[in-house]
Copies of this chain bind each other. A is one copy, B any other.
């Protein structure tokens, strides 16, 4: 797209000016960039340049950058601004963004920064909510009105208030105690007679979430009902804030990434160009877990040392047994984890899910067992070995599909994230079972293999 080329040119020009120390020109130039693109530019600078450049950017522009980034990138920006200059910037952003920023600081820095903010109390209140709860990501930039006022009055009020465009699509109707009654869309406001009371056009059967609701659950609600925003209420039904579709898109992307990452034992926050030190710190622990589980599989193989000594040909087929079980198991686990995340599978469905997977495992196991047995016969010309391999594959693939359902659902029933290292646990099960089936059966008929 042509405009992307313009954006890239602007970014490149600004980078040259920054490298050349022409700060004033650079600042003037970047004010034409969208904050998302400006954030990219700032993050691509070396640490020193970033600090000097952020120092010269107007605070409202820096505030906009804070709205665009999260986690690691947010921390990089905060370091660039410096904790001492943070309060001035935070005065320019909405409460929920300020809370996100402050959450990244050390406890004593948090207290100091809050104390210097005009709206410190409001921000502190948001900090009480869990990071991944609706309360933690909701915005307070909504328009709330009383049901008694007329459409005409509401329109006049909006003209004076001039809310940001993305906060103005729904008006929230509250009673005198700030309890949520319903919503009026701005479209309904426009198509109604000016004298109509808001109460007459209020949609009362609204989907609301509690401040404690998990962000993923809230996001699925918006997706299911195609909503652009959902009000957030406290236990007594008081309107506390609003989650909008753009927040929720971020949530859904984040949760999908988290699930994919956790399945293979990766930390949620790692990005492709995260510093090496962080990547190592986040991957190594799960590799150590995997090492322990791999040694369990080793110990199982060790039990069959005598059998292997009589027929080393068995060792050659171990990768087939482990590989097929691992593939079948991670296929099922992936479906289970994703279905749980999308709300299509829950602990109560365990029997139905197992029944289905047993059938799939039997069919795939029979097919793969036959093909592999036949291939092994062509290669080694040993009928018994072929039957042992085929049978072990059949049994292991059935066990793998079971493990693929039971491990995520088991984790979920223990209130643990079902994606947590699912692949590592599933492949341990399939390795161990596979070797027991294969080497165990071989031991029984070793005379006809060796």
Stretch of A51-59, A104-112, A296-304 lying at the B interface: A296-304
- Contact of B223 with A331 in the complex, beta carbons under 8 Å: no
Stretch of A174-182, A287-295, A441-449 lying at the B interface: A287-295
Q: Report the interface size class on chain A.
A: 35 or more
Within 8 A of B (CB), among A211-235: 222-228
- Contact of A364 with B312 in the complex, beta carbons under 8 Å: no
Residues of B within 8 A of A257 (CB): 256, 338, 342
Contact with A287, one of B222, B301, B364 (Cβ below 8 angstroms): B364
Contact with A326, one of B298, B305, B313, B427 (Cβ below 8 angstroms): B427
Cβ contacts A357-374/B at 8 Å (1 or 0 each): 001100110011001100
A245→B371 CA distance, assembly (Å): 47
- Contact of B320 with A294 in the complex, beta carbons under 8 Å: yes
Residues of B within 8 A of A223 (CB): 246, 249-250, 253
- Contact of B261 with A260 in the complex, beta carbons under 8 Å: no
- Contact of A334 with B36 in the complex, beta carbons under 8 Å: no
- Contact of A356 with B287 in the complex, beta carbons under 8 Å: no
A243 CB to closest chain B CB, in angstroms?
13
Residues of B within 8 A of A270 (CB): 335
- Contact of B297 with A308 in the complex, beta carbons under 8 Å: no
Residues of B within 8 A of A330 (CB): 264, 423
Residues of B within 8 A of A208 (CB): 1
Residues of B within 8 A of A265 (CB): 327, 331
- Contact of B331 with A264 in the complex, beta carbons under 8 Å: yes
Stretch of A80-88, A89-97, A125-133, A157-165 lying at the B interface: A157-165
- Contact of A320 with B295 in the complex, beta carbons under 8 Å: yes
A339→B269 CA distance, assembly (Å): 12
Residues of B within 8 A of A337 (CB): 260
Contact with A249, one of B252, B271, B314 (Cβ below 8 angstroms): B252
- Given A283-B360, A316-B301, the answer on whether A264 and B186 have CB atoms closer than 8 Å is no
- Contact of B364 with A283 in the complex, beta carbons under 8 Å: yes
A380 CB to closest chain B CB, in angstroms?
9
- Given A163-B187, A280-B360, A363-B280, the answer on whether A226 and B253 have CB atoms closer than 8 Å is no
- A435 within 8 A of partner (CB): yes
What number of copies of this chain does the assembly contain? 2
- A190 within 8 A of partner (CB): yes
- Contact of A371 with B246 in the complex, beta carbons under 8 Å: no
Residues of B within 8 A of A338 (CB): 257, 260-261
- Contact of B294 with A305 in the complex, beta carbons under 8 Å: no
- Contact of B205 with A226 in the complex, beta carbons under 8 Å: no
A6 CB to closest chain B CB, in angstroms?
9
- Given A155-B190, A223-B250, the answer on whether A323 and B290 have CB atoms closer than 8 Å is yes
- A344 within 8 A of partner (CB): yes
- A375 within 8 A of partner (CB): yes
Residues of B within 8 A of A77 (CB): none
- Contact of B315 with A308 in the complex, beta carbons under 8 Å: yes
- Which residue of the partner chain B has the closest CB to A209? B1
- Contact of B367 with A284 in the complex, beta carbons under 8 Å: yes
Q: Which 3 A-B pairs have the closest CB atoms?
A: A256-B256, A272-B339, A294-B323
A-to-B contact residues, CB < 8 Å: 1, 3, 34, 36, 155, 158-159, 162-166, 168-169, 185-191, 205, 207-210, 222-228, 245-246, 248-250, 252-253, 256-257, 259-261, 263-266, 270-273, 276, 279-280, 283-284, 286-288, 290-291, 293-295, 297-299, 301-302, 305, 308-309, 312-320, 322-324, 326-328, 330-331, 334-339, 342, 344-345, 349, 352-353, 356, 359-360, 363-364, 367-368, 371-372, 375, 397, 423-424, 427, 431, 435
What are 27 A-B pairs with beta-carbon distances under 8 A?
A: A1-B208, A159-B191, A162-B191, A165-B185, A165-B187, A166-B226, A169-B186, A186-B187, A190-B190, A245-B249, A260-B263, A260-B334, A270-B335, A271-B339, A287-B364, A288-B371, A291-B320, A291-B324, A293-B323, A294-B324, A295-B320, A298-B316, A301-B316, A302-B313, A305-B315, A308-B308, A318-B319
16 more contacts with CB within 8 A, not counting A34-B225, A280-B367, are: A1-B209, A155-B190, A159-B191, A186-B186, A260-B337, A272-B339, A284-B367, A284-B368, A288-B368, A291-B368, A294-B323, A295-B320, A305-B312, A305-B315, A305-B316, A318-B319
